[in-house]
Amino acid sequence: MRRLLIVGNWKMNKTASEAVAFIRAFQERMSASPHAEVVIAPPFTALESARNTLGPSSWISLGAQDVHWETKGAFTGEVSAPMLRELGCRYVIVGHSERRTFFGERDENIQKKVLASLRHGLSPILCVGESMAEREAGQTESVVTAQLSGGLAGLTKQDLATVTIAYEPIWAIGTGQSATTEQAVAVHRSIRLFIETSWDSKTASAIRILYGGSVTPKNIESLLASDAIDGALVGGACLIPESFVTIILFAQIQRV
């Protein structure tokens, strides 16, 4: 059974004290645990205060927005998987398109980040997605498949059991122009088929594939109406407690 997963990617927003205020406001609005699994991914600097505010038995998991592939050493400015684990992170976003675009991340290093996460007990959320020019050139499937085969190279079936894929078309991120449910479903199906062909059908039917790109309280219901979509990676709309709560409340479906 694939449990729906809603991940809030805060990007470079909220100081440590703003994170505390957000979590308190969120918890006031959402006291009971939802059907869906919920993850928030604050900036590194807010992880500790977020963890302390959530408390030890929270149903909200912590995620990081990036990780370095080495455990420690001379990598100024970087943060390793053991550091994130000790801060209470369970998840880590890897290969977000903003990191690919602004920081030159390539599949080769993204794959090393995926492997390092798995080695240290973090569940990677691997982001893939095409630009508008690639979509218009009919290259969506080949671009996404190349990102998957690069980012997941060398992983075993057991590894895949702790990986989540997030399909995030670049043209939909932060633009207010979400993919339609049909567009998202078509790519999700091709991702699942790729997993089936490269590993096996059991692995493919177990892996969660999220959609990300201008998800809002208005479009979440239609996106989750398809059982090809196992949740959402939410940027802008996760920064406001009311809209993040509304998105989570729509994700009340149990998946088989």
Instruction: Kindly tell me which residue out of 173, 185, 191, 210 binds ligand PEP, with binding defined by CB under 6 A.
Output: 173
| Distance between CA atoms of residues 228 and 211, nearest Å | 10
CA distances in angstroms from 28 to 24, 25, 55, listed in the order given: 6, 5, 14
Stretch binding ligand PEP (CB under 6 A), from 23-31, 116-124, 180-188, 230-238: 230-238
Q: 247, 79, 233, 89: which is closest to 166 by C-alpha? A: 233
Instruction: Kindly tell me which residue out of 41, 128, 234, 245 binds ligand PEP, with binding defined by CB under 6 A.
Output: 234
Q: In the complex with ligand PEP, which residue's Cβ is closer, 4 or 234?
A: 234
Q: Which of 68, 96, 120, 188 is catalytic?
A: 96
Catalytic, 86? Answer no
Catalytic, 168? Answer yes
> At 202, is the secondary structure helix, strand, or coil?
helix
215 binds ligand PEP (CB under 6 A): yes
* Binding pattern for the stretch 6-25 against ligand PEP, x by CB under 6 A and - elsewhere: ---x-x--------------
Residue 11 in tokens? 């990007």
Residue 2 in tokens? 């694939």
* Binding pattern for the stretch 236-255 against ligand PEP, x by CB under 6 A and - elsewhere: xx------------------
Element (H, E) at 232: strand 231-234
| Distance between CA atoms of residues 210 and 85, nearest Å | 23
218 binds ligand PEP (CB under 6 A): no
Residue 112 in tokens? 């090393």
Instruction: Give catalytic residue positions.
Output: 96, 168
Q: Which residues contact ligand PEP by CB under 6 A?
A: 9, 11, 168, 173-174, 212-215, 233-237
